[in-house]
Chains A and B, each alone.
Chain A
Amino acid sequence: MVAIIDYGVGNLFSLQSSFAAIGEQAVVSGDKAVIESADKIILPGVGAFEDAARKLHESGLDAVICALAAQGKPLMGICLGMQLLFEKSYEFGEFEGLGLIHGNVKPIADVIPADLKIPHIGWNALKFEKPSPIFSNIQEGDYVYFVHSFYAADCEENMIACTNYGARLTAAVQRENVFGCQFHPEKSGEVGLKILKAFCEI
C-alpha cells in the first residue's frame, strides 16, 4: 500500500487516481499510523515552500517522514514535495527543508536566459545522469510534465536525471531509498505512470 501524505497542500485526486490506474492501492492520509503502515510513501506538494514546510512541521509529519526514510522505507517527493527533501530553500527567503538530500532550492531565474518564460511549464525531455530503479521502465529522452519556478541546486551527487531549459535543471534525485521528481509523474501520461509503477516495485 502507498501512502500519499496529506498535509493540507494541494489537491491529491489525480495522484491517487494515477496509482489506481496502475493497479496499486493508495491512501491519502495525514495520520501517522496509516503512513507508518504503508510500504511506500509519497510526499506531494504544490504552492510555496515556506507554507508547505510550516504545515509539515506543525502536523509533526516532518519527523515521521524523516524516521521512515531512516528506516529505509521508499519515499518519493513530487514537485514541491521533492524540493522539501532538500536542506534549504531560497524561495522568497531562506527556509529549512527536511535535509534528506544534500542541496538547496533556488530560483530558475538565476540560471536560465532572460528571454525564457518562468515558470518552466510544459513537457520536457529527461536526460539520465545516474541509473535508478524508478527509470527501469522508461527511456532517456522520454517527456515528462513540469510546472516550477524554483529548482534543486548543488545536488550533483544525488541527481539521477536532468532536463534542458536554457540551462541544466534537476529533474529527479535519489539518495538510497529517498527519491524526488521535480516533474509531475501523475500528469506525464504513460511515461509518468511507468515511473510510479517502478517506484511501487522497488
Chain B
Amino acid sequence: MITKRIIPCLDVKDGRVVKGVNFKGLSDVNSPVELAQYYSSSGADELVFYDITASSEGRKLFTDILCESARKVFIPLTVGGGINTLDDFERVLGCGADKVSVNSGAIKNPQLIEDAAKRYGSQCVVLSADVKRVDNEFRVFAKGGREDTGIEAIGWIKRGVDSGAGEIVLNSIDTDGVKQGFDLEMLQAVCDVVSVPVIASGGAGKIEDFITLFKRLPKVDAGLAASVFHFGEIDIRDLKKTMLEQGIPARIC
C-alpha cells in the first residue's frame, strides 16, 4: 500500500536554508545541498525547496543550488516561491524539479494553474495556500503570510483543483511555528472538498503530532515540516519507525 509521505521543507534565501517562527525572525540554518542529501539518506520521501529570495541575483543562486541538489538527491523535488509565470515553471523544471508549487502567483493570476496543468500535467502543479482564521472563516494570505487577500480559503483551494492543481499544500498560519500539532480542523475542511493529495503543513513539534495527523485524518497524504527537522528535534528515522509501530504505512530505507 502507498505510504504516508514525510517532507522536509527548505526555505532558501541567498543560498542558505532559513526558517522563521510565524514567518518572522528568519534565522540561518544550513547549506541546502548538504541538508537535502542528509534528509534523503535519513528517509525523507520528498523535499520542498522554497525560494524566499526577492532579488534576481538571489534567484540565480537558488536555481544553481536546485541544480546541484538534483544532481545528488534522487527523490522527488518540489519547488516553490516566486513562481508567477510559465517561464518560472520552465526555469525550475529544467533544474530537476518534479513539481512546482504556486501560491501568490496563482492569487495574482489564477489562470496560471490551468495553463501550467495543460502544459506540464496536473501531477506537476501544486497549489500551496497559507491560510489563517479571520472573522470565523478560513482566509487565504499572500506574500509569505503577510497579506490578507480577503479570499475564502476552502473555495479557493477547490477552484484550484478544478483548474488542474494536482496536489495541495495547506499551511496553517495559525499553527505554524507554534509546535502544538497540525491544524486538524482546517485540514479536514480541505480534505472534505478535494480528491487530490493533501499535504499538511504548519505546527509539527513532535513525532506524536504526525501520528495524530495520520490517524485522525486518513485522507491526508503527507506531513511537511521545517525547523523540527532542521534542528534535529525530530529524526525522520525515528518518526518512520513510530509510524510503522502505530500501523501507519511508511517507507523505511
Instruction: Judge whether B93 and A11 touch: CB under 8 Å.
Output: yes
CA distance A147 to B94 in the complex (A): 19
Q: Which residues of A contact B2 (CB under 8 A)?
A: 120, 122-124, 146, 165
* Least CB distance, B116 to chain A, in whole angstroms: 13
Q: Which residues of A contact B197 (CB under 8 A)?
A: 117, 121-122
Q: Which residues of A contact B35 (CB under 8 A)?
A: none
* Interface check A136, CB cutoff 8 A: no
- Interface majority SS on B: helix, strand, loop or mixed? loop
Instruction: Judge whether B253 and A17 touch: CB under 8 Å.
Output: no
Pick the most buried of A165, A186, A192: most chain B CB atoms within 10 A of its CB. A186
* Interface check B207, CB cutoff 8 A: no
Q: Which residues of A contact B71 (CB under 8 A)?
A: 17, 20-21
Closest Cβ neighbor of A120 among chain B residues: B2
Instruction: Judge whether B123 and A121 touch: CB under 8 Å.
Output: yes
Instruction: Judge whether B196 and A17 touch: CB under 8 Å.
Output: no
* Interface check B251, CB cutoff 8 A: yes
Pick the contact of B96 from A14, A121, A124, A192 — CB < 8 Å? A14
Q: Which residues of A contact B251 (CB under 8 A)?
A: 123, 143
Q: Which residues of B contact A189 (CB under 8 A)?
A: 40, 74-75, 253
Closest Cβ neighbor of A188 among chain B residues: B74
Instruction: Judge whether B45 and A123 touch: CB under 8 Å.
Output: yes
Instruction: Judge whether A122 and B5 touch: CB under 8 Å.
Output: yes
Q: Which residues of B contact A145 (CB under 8 A)?
A: 75-76
Instruction: Judge whether B3 and A143 touch: CB under 8 Å.
Output: yes
Chain A 163-202: CB-based contact to B (< 8 A → 1; otherwise 0): 0110000000000000000000011111111000000000
Pick the most buried of A123, A125, A191: most chain B CB atoms within 10 A of its CB. A123
* Interface check B98, CB cutoff 8 A: yes
Chain A 121-160: CB-based contact to B (< 8 A → 1; otherwise 0): 1111100000000000000000101110000000000000
Given A117-B197, A147-B123, check contact A123 B5 (CB 8 Å): yes
Instruction: Judge whether A46 and B96 touch: CB under 8 Å.
Output: no
Instruction: Judge whether B94 and A11 touch: CB under 8 Å.
Output: yes
CA distance A117 to B198 in the complex (A): 10
* Least CB distance, B62 to chain A, in whole angstroms: 16
Instruction: Judge whether A143 and B253 touch: CB under 8 Å.
Output: yes
* Least CB distance, A78 to chain B, in whole angstroms: 13
Q: Which residues of B contact A188 (CB under 8 A)?
A: 74-75
Q: Which residues of A contact B93 (CB under 8 A)?
A: 11
Closest Cβ neighbor of A192 among chain B residues: B74
* Least CB distance, B118 to chain A, in whole angstroms: 11
Interface residues of B (CB under 8 A from A): 1-3, 5, 40, 45, 67, 70-72, 74-76, 93-96, 98, 120-123, 166-167, 195-197, 221-222, 251, 253
Interface residues of A (CB under 8 A from B): 11, 13-14, 17-18, 20-21, 46-48, 117-125, 143, 145-147, 164-165, 186-193
Task: Given A143-B251, A147-B98, output 20 extra A-B contacts at Cβ < 8 Å.
Answer: A13-B95, A14-B70, A17-B71, A17-B72, A20-B71, A21-B71, A21-B72, A47-B121, A118-B195, A120-B2, A124-B2, A143-B3, A147-B123, A186-B74, A187-B74, A189-B74, A189-B75, A189-B253, A190-B74, A191-B253
4 A-B pairs with least C-beta separation = A143-B251, A13-B96, A17-B71, A123-B251
| Interface pairs (12), CB distance under 8 Å | A17-B71, A17-B72, A117-B195, A121-B123, A123-B2, A124-B3, A147-B123, A165-B2, A187-B75, A187-B76, A187-B98, A192-B74
